Amino acid sequence: MMGGPSAGGIGTLGARRILSRLVTAALTALVAMVLVLGGLLPAMTPGLTHALSERLAWSDLSPFDSAQLAQVAEAARDYSFGSHDKQALYDAVLQVNRQLSDERAAQGASKGDGRPAGRASGTPAGAPRLDQLASDAAFPEVQRVLDGASDAYVLGPEAIGHLDDVFAVGLAAKSALIAALALLAGTVLGTAMRSRALHARDPRGADRPAPDQGRPDAGHATCERPRETRDGMALATHLAVLARPLRSAARMTALALAALGLWAAIDFMGLFTAFHQVFFAQGTWTFSARSLLICALPTELWMTLGGIWLAGMLALCAAAELAGRRLARKGRATARTPAAGPARR
């Protein structure tokens, strides 16, 4: 009778296949995370928010002009995704209010100069009482005066609270990106080390000359590739396992982006609302259209930043797809290359 494979052997093979699929799925998820979060980095470039706000800010709904709103927008970006320095944020808001107060004092009340009536001289209702602040007032006093003003002039406690929530989400995203990159780098490094270890144990990879190498009467010569070539081929074979996660993550992310892009084109505010409902508590992210936060960071600005994020993700998806194809191609080429062996003269 002919013997077949043992049940233990079949079970081991099945377990290895399951483990391989789990590893591939985990690597795919890590790559997708890098594609999504890495694409966000260009949108957070310092200075970009300032430039966009200066062009897109709702100055027609605010007592501040576009340049002043852009100052607040950049300070809010730094607070949410950078230094998280509350005093610096309050200082920026105080600065634009002092600029506005100086303009009022210099120009006086005028309805024919093209400015809204709310920019008349004096301290209009809702504006911070800057006359209560000394030029060198301490931060607690600045905070007290600004927090007592209307949200059309300041970033009040509710707005600051929302920016704190944004900072927490951004910090989690940065941590996730760093962790994903570290795990992927560890996978590549571990694969390279495993490849070298396996190659070192392979007798065909040993750098030993044939017993009769160099003798003029040798009956045959050994055709050996240089060690660097053999090491590179072995590494390419092992790194080929990353090809599928790279390509799968790139394609799935691109499909998801296409769906989200279509949603945004049809109903951007619906997508914007759904995004906030996922990451923020209800009631903590809605503000008046005339509030300083909204006028400095209006819908058009977020649409532009979303487009930049989308472009960044698509660029990373394309890079991942190309890298996956190259690894797969090298792996197939190496697998088809016969091992070096003796050649008859």
Question: CA neighbours within 13 Å on the CB side: how many for 228?
Answer: 0
Closest residue by Cα to residue 61 from 250, 336, 299: 299
**pLDDT, tens only, 16-50:** 778 778 888 999 999 999 999 999 999 988 899 99
Average pLDDT over every residue of 173-191:
88
Q: Which amino acid appears at position 282 of this protein?
A: Q
- 100-108: long-range pairs with CB below 8 Å, 24+: 100/63, 100/64, 100/68, 100/127, 101/127, 101/130
**pLDDT, tens only, 107-154:** 764 544 444 444 444 578 889 999 888 888 899 999 999 999 999 999
Do the beta carbons of residue 294 and residue 59 sit within 8 Å? no
> How far is 288 from 257, CA to CA, in rounded Å?
30
Whether residue 257 is predicted with pLDDT greater than 60 in this model: the reply is yes
> How far is 239 from 191, CA to CA, in rounded Å?
7
Whether residue 327 is predicted with pLDDT greater than 80 in this model: the reply is yes
**pLDDT, tens only, 261-319:** 899 889 888 888 898 888 888 888 889 999 999 999 999 999 999 899 999 999 999 99
Whether residue 8 is predicted with pLDDT greater than 80 in this model: the reply is no
> How far is 154 from 92, CA to CA, in rounded Å?
10
Task: Look over the chain and give the mean of its residue pLDDT values, rounded to a whole number.
Answer: 80
CB atoms within 10 A of CB 102: 11
> How far is 329 from 134, CA to CA, in rounded Å?
70
Q: What is the pLDDT of residue 212?
A: 47
Provide φ and ψ at 282, rounded to 5°: -60, 135
Give the best-scoring range by mean pLDDT among 5-9, 72-76, 117-121: 72-76
Do the beta carbons of residue 304 and residue 55 sit within 8 Å? no
Bin 235: left if φ > 0, else alpha if -120 < ψ < 50, else beta.
alpha
Closest residue by Cα to residue 152 from 294, 258, 34: 294
Q: What is the DSSP letter of 342?
A: E
Give the best-scoring range by mean pLDDT among 58-62, 131-135, 216-220, 323-327: 58-62
Q: What is the pLDDT of residue 238?
A: 55
> How far is 109 from 154, CA to CA, in rounded Å?
22
Provide φ and ψ at 263, rounded to 5°: -60, -45
Percent of the chain whose pLDDT exceeds 90 = 46
Q: What is the pLDDT of residue 195?
A: 59
Do the beta carbons of residue 234 and residue 198 sit within 8 Å? yes
> How far is 74 from 297, CA to CA, in rounded Å?
9
Q: What is the DSSP letter of 44?
A: G
Closest residue by Cα to residue 184 from 313, 35, 332: 35
Do the beta carbons of residue 195 and residue 237 sit within 8 Å? yes
Alpha carbon 291 to its chain's center: 29
**pLDDT, tens only, 79-98:** 999 999 999 999 999 999 99
